[in-house]
Amino acid sequence: MDLLNQTPQELAGMMRELGQPAYRGAQVFDWLHKGARSAGEMTNLPKALREALQFTPPTVVERQVSRDKTEKLLFRLEDGQTVEAVLMHYQTGKTICVSTQVGCRQGCAFCASTIGGMARDLTAGEILGQVLHCGTPVDRVVLMGIGEPLENFDATTRFLSLINDPAGRNMSLRNVTVSTCGLVPRILELSELRLPVTLSVSLHAPDNETRDLLMPINRKYPVEELIHSCEIYFDKTCRRMTYEYVMIDAINDTLGHARALGLLLKGRPAHVNLIPLNAVAGRESFRPSPAPAVERFAAALSAKGVSTTVRRRLGSDIQAACGQLRRERLAL
């Protein structure tokens, strides 16, 4: 029973079906979002109801801690599948990076998450469970772990509703970031919801030739079409776009690429995160850009007036950095 997937209204209906007053649904929702791991913890419910409510939230079965205090969490799901999440500690609070699918089918050439393909989508409850059962309250959530959130669109948007619900965690959606490799129709569909979430687009190249090499999705939705959908997203939501750009030696890190990216984004409400490539077993043909190349690239973007940050490499020693999460173990 995926209780974490249910809204307060749905739980109220479930209570009526079980012969209980509807208000019990609000009590169950409150317990779930406080992190209850079993119905036995819900002490204000009748014993018979507690015995009837069986659920298995995502469970941390392995926790690795990086030198920089970043934590990688291996979650086991009810059917034995596993996904990874990453808990990052900042001076401004804690951020958790969660997965939305078991594996990924997008095939980005530099990413570990696509190795082994995809087993299935997560439910909204399984996404939420990573937040609620990571072992500590968090301040921000990023849907940037394993999987493509917008391919699992219904579960992703249901998760946003659940995490934002005033009766639960009541997290502001301004503290939530949704990533995408560039599924244009889904970006447009998300824009129609006018949610104040930050949309983070994995761009990684300013031109179609280079992006085709790195990201198969570009052959279906090329750069020009992607950027246009992002303009529409901004117009609908007034949320500045974030573009992720993995820096790969001799592939996408030349000054020519920097100037092309600067021209592409100049004058647009955008911020670029430059991410030196993190090592991935099985992707040894790609190497991270040297630090001087990253610095030159950032300077060239800044010269075009494009807001730019070089992202810190958190958790790379435990394979928890960007692009390193993977579907390694299918059952524990």
Query: Which residues are tagged catalytic?
Result: 84, 322
Tokens, residue 328 = 């390694």
**Strand ranges in 91-167 using DSSP code E only, listed in sequence order:** 93-97, 101-103, 118-121, 140-143
Nearest C-alpha neighbor of 3 from the set 46, 43, 58, 47: 58
Contact call for residues 84 and 134 (beta carbons, < 8 A): no
- In the chain, the N- to C-terminal Cα span, in Å, equals 20
Q: Work out the widest C-alpha separation in the chain, in whole angstroms.
A: 68
Tokens, residue 110 = 């530099």
Contact call for residues 72 and 99 (beta carbons, < 8 A): no
Contact call for residues 138 and 131 (beta carbons, < 8 A): yes
Q: How do strand 118-121 and strand 101-103 relate by DSSP bridges?
A: antiparallel
HEC letters along 220-286:
CCCHHHHHHHHHHHHHHHCCCEEEEEEEECCCCCCHHHHHHHHHHHCCCCEEEEEEECCCCCCCCCC
Contact call for residues 180 and 220 (beta carbons, < 8 A): no
* 285 Cβ neighbours under 8 A, 6+ residues apart: none
**CA atoms 243, 248, 251, 256: torsion sign:** positive
For 242-269, b where at least 16 C-beta lie within 10 A, e where not — what string?
Answer: bbbbbbbeebbbbeebbbbbbebbeeee
